[in-house]
A and B are shown apart, each in its own frame.
Chain A
Amino acid sequence: MEKKIAIVFSFTFLLIVVLSGFIAYPLLDFVQSDTVAKNYLFKVDTNSSVNIKVPQVNPSDRIYLVFNTSSRMKVEPSLTLKQLPYDIEGLPYDFEDWILFQQRFCFIANESSSSSTLRLNLLDPQIPYSVKVFEGEANFTLFNYIDNASANYVGIHVQALTNQSSRFQQVMLIYPYHKVAEQNFQVRGSLKLISGNISYITFFIITKDRDWLPYRVVSSKQMNVSKTIDFNVNLNNQSILGRTFSEDFGKQIQYVAFSISLDSSQWQHSEVAYADVGFGEIKIINGNESTIIEPKVLEEYPVNCNLYVFSKFHPTTIYTISILMLVFLVVASTLMFARLSGFKFQVRKFFGPLITSEAVSDPRPNTYLAKLFHKPRYDRLVALLLRFAGKKVSILVDVGCGKGVLRDYLKENGIDVNVYVGCDVDKETLQEVSNTERVLCDVQHMPFKQNIADVIVCSEVLEHIPNPNLGFSELLEVSKRWVFVSIPQERLKNALGFRYLEHISEPNPSEFKHLAQNDKFELVKVEKKTFAFPPSVFDKLRLRYEAFYRPIIVFLFKILSIISCNFSLIKTVILVFRLKENPRDIA
């Protein structure tokens, strides 16, 4: 057996590897040529636009643009392209080089095209800083400002949005500065409030470790309109958080930044908080080096752009077939291997505390399993009995009666049985059936006269015996009118290896039908029942809606029930046999 397993396993494994190769080859081939990259350099004016030509694209290809500038811009695609939003909640503030000093856009191609274009409009002039709204909601515009003394300033107009949710607005001007702070680190410069009102202006050192070290530059009290303020952030300044400047020496700086803060409470209700602030020349002294940030504002400037066309994979028919074959092969080889190696799904063993062995064999409706599986079965069986045999039964033989649960159900449903005879092979179980006739016997050898019982019920018994046909013939012998048989349908479950050990045979309804015909019985009802989710739920829903007469919904649930019933592992078939018109004489 081991050798057989090894051969089957090796063969299927080899097949899977070969098929995987077939699948992987076109994918790897695609990956090697799925990107087209182009670089463009434009000289752009803020008052005009530039067209960017996109190379050939196919449906669903992504066009990805990276502009190496912090200036805000608008890119309008031609009809064949659809722009994707940066994200849903707007541009997040974050302080990384590529976010601060780059602009990114992404588009999806709707159709194949070799003539798509992107129209680029710059919204800001070029300044040395990257500008971000950090707190609250505000608009800003940038401009060049020259004062009476002919000094140049980078002008920024900050205005709070009228429907602001926050009282404070903070806009930051960020400058990349990748150096370690030395002992003599200081920042000098001049700034001017051109119009409006500010709450304060703060200088920040943003370190590589995400520490933000703020120093007050100027507050609203110190700042008057048109007054130039020279500032110097150095050893004498105290950090806003109470830390001394000297604590920050030796830190790895990533950016330096100025923030302009507006406070709406400084304004009347009808007014909108705003400020026009000019930043003059800024000098950063650090060790032996000094860096000057010149207040340059350029309306026309060069913009570098990288354009990528990222192809999207479209599965071919061969690929689809190969994948399906692979899945089939894995399913088949797994089942084959399981069958050969004799693995079984042993429900009782593994479901431990949830399903005890008692619960499996005891169909009384007070255990979990009984509620789930056995109760609906008995309900249905009794309903059929009521429909065909009627409310009065003279002699009823319950073959494989267990603890006599059926009798309780019959009583509950108002079926009057004169003589109830319970038969079972288990003596101990049979002893629990009280106040009735009890017969210890096997279904294959029942000690009854022929045609003695009006009704014979044999539910979930025949699969426990080696020859179910013999057992069924015995039932026909004993009955003079009705035989109710239920047998589990376990082919799929058994094929998957989930076989109950005590189910030693697979009774066949068509063979029963044949046997019944030979014995002058006719099959009057075949009903397939599934007692597990989802078919049982669909059935319940169907019955509920049937009451309201909603044919479409009922039909839908019926279809769903039929489909899911076929895939269900736990189902049973109830067969009702009746003796043909000329009943046999009672022996």
Chain B
Amino acid sequence: MSRLRSFFQLELLFFIIISIVLVSLGFYSRAGFDDVFLRKTDLLPFVDFRPGYPPLGKLPYYSLLVLFSQTSAYSISVYLFNMLTFFLVGTTLYFCILKLNQKRALSLGVIFLVMPSVIYLTIVYSHADALALIFVLGALYFIENPWLCGVLCGIGALVKFYPAVLLLPLLIYYKGIKKKTILLYSFILTALLLSLPFLLLDPLMYVSVVTSHSLRGPSESIFSMIDGYFGHTGFLHPTFDATIYSWQFTTVYEPSSYDHFRYQWSIPVLPYISIGLQIFSIVIISWIARGRKDQKEAVMLISLSMFAYFAFSTFYNPIIHIVEICCLVLATLNWGKYAQLTILVAFETVNIFHSIIWFTPVFMSIGVMLPLSVAVILRAILYVTVFLNFARRRAI
């Protein structure tokens, strides 16, 4: 309890420090582009309009805008919500580590809280990724209970899609049809119940939220570099494009190598290689975790499989780093103290470098291609280090 109290006290201290920094730097939250569009046109999200995130990832921000309009109260409420998310992620991560390695829980929890890119990308430049992470970490915490895992993955998948990926390693991990079925059923039930209002109003628009992502191109990953696409997440389409179903969208745009939202791969085999590597790595790592009674090992391996999912993804965005770093913290718990710290700091440094490329005039003037390639290659080296270390430890 005293350790828990220390962690909460530290979180409170962070809350105060971050609040002071935000106020003194004059950061303010701007309402999301889609949200303002919806407010001004009186369209209903997920019924008349397909936002970029599932309902639980989108509606909190939209609700705040409805409540406070574009006032400073909105800005404050978004900050508070983001801070709450940030601390909940920190707390769930802390509990996960506490369950597996009590000695490192406090230090790793604090390291996570002080990571600059984690703070910035969760509180100032927030996305639903961090919110979804709470449910992923929750599922890892309750890994013994397929009920809870299914429910948490179901809720998480309605915040951002990636928690649904956790189902695959969990399905492999659980031995016996009972646990697998319970996991699947509780996931489907949760997702279905939470989606029910939208399924009743317009199922096709709701499905379009998911299917529109299949049209998207790569971003800032090694696959995007190989394919020759150096964009961030693509240029802006008219916002009204989101009022039509995803397949209707394909009738008004030809696929092209410069449109992120209707992308044509220059090397068409690349996405298949990416998906193949993702599935292969998840299956292999989860198979090693299969039926393990040692919870520490099981959680580490499943975290590593999630980490592999992001490592082999065609899509990278600095915000994904938050998810990646949490998985990495759990996956490297059996590393030496300093080795673990080094790899975490290395990932953080590369991500900071990656993030500032888009905001630094020097990089913009020489063109983003070179610095972006450097960031991507550095990150690839770190991925290789993690996987080689994993292979070496398994071999031992």
Chain A residues near B (Cβ < 8 Å): 5, 9, 23, 27, 30-31, 34-35, 37, 60, 62, 64, 66, 84-89, 92, 94-99, 104, 106, 108, 208-211, 241, 306, 308, 310, 312-313, 315, 320, 323-324, 326-327, 330-331, 333-334, 337-338, 341, 343, 345-346, 349-350, 352-354, 497
Contacts and interface: CB of A to CB of B under 8 A. Distances in A.
B196 A323 contact: yes
A330 B199 CA distance: 15
A96 B192 contact: no
A92 B241 CA distance: 14
A27 B204 contact: yes
A197 B145 CA distance: 74
Given A35-B248, A35-B251, A87-B37, A330 B189 contact: yes
Given A88-B37, A343-B182, A94 B235 contact: yes
Given A92-B236, A94-B236, A62 B244 contact: yes
In this complex, the member of A5, A208, A308, A353 whose beta carbon has the largest number of chain B beta carbons within 10 angstroms is A353
B381 interface: no
B39 to A, nearest CB: 9
A211 B199 CA distance: 44
Contacts of B368: 210
B240 interface: yes
B199 A323 contact: yes
Interface in B25-75: 33, 36-37, 40-41, 48
Nearest to A24: B203
A482 to B, nearest CB: 39
A313 B204 CA distance: 7
A353 B243 contact: no
Given A84-B240, A353-B99, 4 more contacts: A108-B243, A315-B203, A341-B182, A343-B178
B203 A27 contact: yes
Q: Is chain A's binding surface mostly helix, strand, loop or mixed?
A: mixed
B188 A330 contact: yes
Contacts of A9: 181
A349 B186 CA distance: 19
A330 B245 contact: no
B84 interface: no
Nearest to B99: A352
Contact of B4 (A92, A210, A330, A353): A353
Contacts of A310: 244-245, 248
Nearest to A60: B48
Nearest to A242: B365
A350 B243 contact: no
Contacts of A323: 196, 199-200, 203
B227 to A, nearest CB: 12
B271 interface: no
22 contacts: A34-B245, A37-B251, A60-B48, A62-B248, A84-B41, A85-B37, A88-B40, A89-B33, A106-B240, A208-B258, A211-B367, A310-B248, A313-B205, A315-B201, A315-B202, A327-B193, A327-B196, A333-B185, A334-B186, A343-B182, A353-B1, A353-B98
B235 A85 contact: no
B125 to A, nearest CB: 18
Contacts of B98: 352-353
B247 to A, nearest CB: 7
B6 interface: no
A273 to B, nearest CB: 25
Given A106-B238, A313-B203, A315-B201, A308 B252 contact: yes
B235 to A, nearest CB: 4
Given A94-B235, A209-B367, A312 B202 contact: yes
A426 B245 CA distance: 66
B231 interface: yes
Nearest to A104: B238
Contacts of B1: 353
Contact of B244 (A64, A326, A333, A346): A64
Interface string B214-253: 0000000000000010110001101111011101100111
Contact of B185 (A64, A66, A210, A334): A334
Nearest to B145: A350
Given A84-B243, A343-B147, A338 B204 contact: no
B343 interface: no
Contact of A88 (B33, B141, B144, B259): B33
